[in-house]
């Protein structure tokens, strides 16, 4: 599975790649550059991911974008959910 990060957490893509995970930024895949100053609207991201036929999982912190993924059946990971799950599982 390939992963893509939204603009808000674009630095995570580089870190995941350094750990051997196939991850790019949405800007790199859609615009062929990593300049996150160029806006990419949520509908365009959803259209792009839908066209990928569930081959790419979006990693995001954006609640609205994750809701769109849920509605359109696009694989996604919401960072806040992972953090909350980790905290709940960590002994206190």
* Domain containing residue 15: 2-89
Residue 15's CATH number: 3.40.50
The pTM of this model reads: 0.92
Q: What is the pLDDT of residues 9-66, one digit of tens each?
A: 999 999 999 999 999 999 999 999 988 889 999 999 999 999 999 999 999 999 999 9
Cβ neighbours of residue 19 closer than 8 Å, sequence gap 6 or more: none
Residues sharing a CB contact under 8 Å with residue 52, sequence separation 6 or more, in sequence order: none
Torsion angle (degrees, nearest 10) of CA 66, 69, 70, 74: -140
Residue 91 pLDDT > 90: no
For 40, residues 6+ apart whose C-beta sits below 8 A from its C-beta are 7, 26, 27, 30, 31
pLDDT at 34: 87
What is the per-residue pLDDT for 1? 83
- Integer-rounded Cα radius of gyration of the chain: 13
Q: How many domains does the chain have?
A: 1
């Amino acid at each position: 599975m390939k992963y893509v990060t939204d603009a808000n957490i674009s630095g995570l893509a580089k870190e995941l790649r350094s750990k051997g995970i196939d991850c790019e930024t949405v800007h790199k895949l859609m615009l062929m550059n990593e300049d996150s100053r160029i806006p990419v609207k949520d509908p365009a991201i959803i259209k792009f991911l839908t066209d990928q036929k569930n081959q790419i999982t979006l990693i995001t912190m954006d609640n609205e974008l994750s809701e769109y993924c849920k509605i359109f059946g696009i694989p996604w990971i919401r960072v806040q959910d992972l953090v909350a799950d980790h905290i709940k599982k960590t002994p206190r």
